[in-house]
Amino acid sequence: MGLIEKGYVHIFDGSIAVDSGDDAIKAITSLTVDGGVITVTNSVEGMEATNITINDGEITIAAIDDGINAVSQGLGGEVFITVTGGSVNVTVGTGDTDGFDSNGSITISGGTVDVTAPGMSSLDYETTGQLTGGTLIVNGQELTQMPASMTGGPAGGAAGRAGGFDPSVR
């Protein structure tokens, strides 16, 4: 088991290394990273919370399911993943997996996000996906807009959009 907190997790600095057979870093409400080096070498899900904000730091995640997962924990509130800075490198396994998976929105406005995900499973969001700054790399290709190549279906659910890798979108 990784680092699990019933409320909030706020990482300011330091070095965290996790090798977990379950979720590596999990908060029921919010998970905020403002610095430090986080290395998840093995996990089911790398990071999970209702809302996840990455402002700075160096994050490397290897997950067999979702790398970074924003999901309602039954407490209400907005569900989102926001990256404003730092470096995020996520690698996920095959199957019904996502590099970033949000039951709400995904916003990337700064930093570098590098997702390695097989097939159409890089960024999955149900409401909106925005790329307004920073660098987004999916399976080795730098993109200039948020991918949204599939609508609905098994990966994104009935109302979701599974943002995969569409080589025509750069």
**Residue 6 has what pLDDT?**
66
Write out pLDDT tens, residues 32-83.
999 999 999 999 999 999 999 999 999 999 999 999 999 997 777 899 999 9
**Rounded to 5°, angle at Cα 115 from 104 and 155:** 50
- Please check whether residue 62 lies inside any domain of the structure: yes
Percent over 70 (pLDDT), the chain: 82
- Please check whether residue 132 lies inside any domain of the structure: yes
**Among all chains, which residue has been given the structure tokens 């948020």?**
146
Domain count, the chain: 1
d(CA 114, CA 60): 9
- Full domain range(s) for residue 61: 3-163
Residue 151 has pLDDT above 70, yes or no: no
- Please check whether residue 170 lies inside any domain of the structure: no
Token pair recorded at residue 88: 């995020």
Report the mean per-residue pLDDT for the chain: 85
| pTM score, whole prediction | 0.85
Indicate the Cα dihedral angle 72, 153, 84, 76, nearest 10°: -10
